[in-house]
Chain A
Amino acid sequence: MPADTGLAGTPPPDLAPSSASASAAALSESPRNGTRPLPPNRNRLGTGAWLAVGFLAVLCAAALLAPVLPLEDPTRSDTDALAAGISGDHWLGTDALGRDTLARIVHGARVSLVVGAGATVIGAVVGTVLGMAAGMGRGLLPGVIMRLTDVLLAFPAMIFALAVIGAVGPSTTSVTLVIGLLFVPGFVRIVRAPVLSLSQREFVLSCRAMGMSAPRLMLREILPNILTGIVTYGVTMFGVGVMVEGGLGFLGVSVPPPDPTWGGMIAEGRQVLAEHPMVTLTPTLVLVLVVLCANVVGDRLSARLDMRGAML
């Protein structure tokens, strides 16, 4: 399902598109059964992943508290310091218009993180419902759902996003909704495959035989079994969402200026790239770090999941 990636370009680590079995776990090394000794910390998340979680938590807190933090106004120009470097006044320097980079990154995070998280939640909720319906439903329903996801995948994602956002106007809500919609097919596939196999397992069959209703069965018996997989995939998709929002902002169709977005900051910095590369590089670095952290956490989670799967 590369469609979700096209917006931002770089495909996320877990895209093994055509097969439904391709999960976030597909790329993480599966544990070996050989005689080789296992690394001791295989069962824990690991230092790197905790660092990543810490970084994301700090950024979230900063974004949340941005109005009360002693930050400069992200839209105010300091005409004495245009495209300035790091200083006591401007910890991360300023952009070409003299606006404080740190303030703009923190305020931009409000957009990026909300869009990333919001789109992931939308994709996960809609995708899980549809995926379970496609996995357990009867009659025409599964076919219809799968064709719909095919259509969405076949659509050039970027054009789709640009057209829809162009139609309804750029805002945090519209950007989140569009990216969330583009995430749906991925979640449908992630959910459907295990639901298909689970629905043939004895405990599910016996629940059915005892007359448990389908929605109840899904909620009580199926969902708990696939939830970890959804969460793991979602963590990675959060990073993709941040990346996609960056791409839209870069093209100028995310939240409109003067409100800062990371993609917009990178795009604006290009004008002074030759003389003041830091104006572009700083927001780029933050964006990459956020996605990287999400990928690290997702990767470690799926490795753990794999481990447990192998022990069953």
Chain B
Amino acid sequence: MNPLGTTNPTTGKPASSADGHGSLLRLRGYSVHLHSPRGIVAAVDGVDVDLARGRTLAVVGESGSGKSVLCRSLLGLLPAAAVAHRGGTAHFDGIDLAVTGEAALRDIRGRRIGMVFQDPMTALNPVLPVWRQIALPLRRHLRLDRRAAKRAAVELLDSVGIPDPARRADQYPVQMSGGMRQRVMIAIALGCDPDLLIADEPTTALDVTVQAQILGLLDRLRAERDMAVILISHDLGVVADHSDDVMVMYAGRQAERGATRGVLAGPRMPYTRALLDAAPTLHGERGRRLAAIGGQPPDLTRLPDGCAFAARCPRVQDRCRTQAPPLAPVPGSAHDGACWNPVPVPGSADLPEGGAPIPQETQETSRA
């Protein structure tokens, strides 16, 4: 067992510790409340983010934890009628996204912030040849004419590793495999050379082998273009290998946040611990039972006064039920957690055997 988490990871400063200067995306107390059939939902509640160019922030959580709502609201993609309230501040490269109108947002979307969606089967238009789908944002943002846009589209297909791009450009999504469609999605998102790429579960719908290729592609493109990337995922294996910082969300709130290695090696918030225990690892002990997280995610329309995870938490205390813990540096770790009774640092006696952080070797092999 590698007690990696006990040492302060060296992979840059944690997202939380930055004062925000020099960061491309800066959120403070960002909240999004939505209308739902059963009342108002705090889909995102008080989130802070600092993300610099060239870095990848992973956002992790169960479905319904607010990951996708967070990203869509930043781009103004939520239906206006659905949004009950937006709070906090959101700055992208100094632009206050909260006060930016729809027209100005449209100049940012696709041009400066690209987005890749989860399911390439449904996120591509089935009745348009792929080159036209790549070309539309190019024509809109870069004012390319039709021929130049088509040439650029073919080049983009080539750059995302699609063989025979000139022929593929004229094809429809239905003629392509899932991995190839996701490459097309990435080509669309990268067309205008954005500063920030939001990848919303980009590999969830793909085969494992294709997943690795797509994530490798994203890593390469981020390095080449010095982009910032927000990688939304519920797959901690993906997060461990392909992000610098991680933010764990639970019920719209940030549960734990910091450098990816530190958080995954030494999770302090019991929810993160439980997520790790629920994830299979390559080098985990054979025969270890994957621990399911007991109980149900909370009803977002009626969140408890205290910690949202209290009802499911093995380390729950009385205080957890009455008072929500703030996100704060956790003693003994270099990252932040929102917990009154954090999990002891790894290596301590009561860490369950086999519930190991993802070992170094795993990262190396899958990166290769």
Contact = CB atoms under 8 A, between A and B. Distances in A.
A37 B36 CA distance: 6
Interface in A21-66: 34-38
B64 to A, nearest CB: 12
Interface in B32-65: 34-37
Contacts of B78: 35
A37 B37 CA distance: 5
- The winner among A34, A35, A37, A38 for most chain B CB atoms within 10 A is A35
Contacts of B35: 35-37
Given A36-B35, A37-B81, A37-B82, 9 more contacts: A34-B82, A35-B34, A35-B35, A35-B36, A35-B79, A35-B82, A36-B79, A37-B36, A38-B37
18 contacts: A34-B79, A34-B82, A35-B34, A35-B35, A35-B36, A35-B78, A35-B79, A35-B82, A36-B35, A36-B79, A36-B81, A36-B82, A37-B35, A37-B36, A37-B37, A37-B81, A37-B82, A38-B37
A35 B300 CA distance: 13
Minimum-distance CB pairs A-B, first 9: A35-B82, A37-B35, A35-B34, A36-B82, A38-B37, A36-B81, A36-B79, A35-B36, A37-B37
Contacts of A37: 35-37, 81-82
Contacts of B36: 35, 37
Contacts of A38: 37
Interface residues of A, number: 5
Nearest to A37: B35
A123 B46 CA distance: 61
A36 B79 CA distance: 8
Contacts of B79: 34-36
A35 B35 CA distance: 7
Nearest to B82: A35
Nearest to B36: A35
B255 to A, nearest CB: 23
A37 B33 CA distance: 13
- For the residues of A in contact with B, the DSSP-based class is loop
Nearest to B79: A36
Interface in B4-38: 34-37
Nearest to A35: B82
Nearest to B40: A37
Contacts of B81: 36-37
Nearest to B39: A37
A176 to B, nearest CB: 45
Contacts of A36: 35, 79, 81-82
A17 B82 CA distance: 36
A34 B37 CA distance: 10
Nearest to A32: B79
Nearest to B81: A36
B76 to A, nearest CB: 15
B67 to A, nearest CB: 15
Contacts of A35: 34-36, 78-79, 82
A36 B82 CA distance: 5
A34 B36 CA distance: 9
A112 B129 CA distance: 53
Nearest to B41: A35
A123 to B, nearest CB: 36
A171 B88 CA distance: 75
A51 to B, nearest CB: 27
Contacts of A34: 79, 82
A34 B79 CA distance: 9
Interface string A5-24: 00000000000000000000
A31 to B, nearest CB: 11
Interface in B67-101: 78-79, 81-82
B168 to A, nearest CB: 32
Contacts of B82: 34-37
A38 B36 CA distance: 8
A281 B152 CA distance: 63
- The winner among A34, A36, A38 for most chain B CB atoms within 10 A is A36
A35 B38 CA distance: 10
B21 to A, nearest CB: 35
A207 B82 CA distance: 46
Interface in A244-288: none
A211 to B, nearest CB: 43
B332 to A, nearest CB: 40
A35 B39 CA distance: 11
Contacts of B37: 37-38
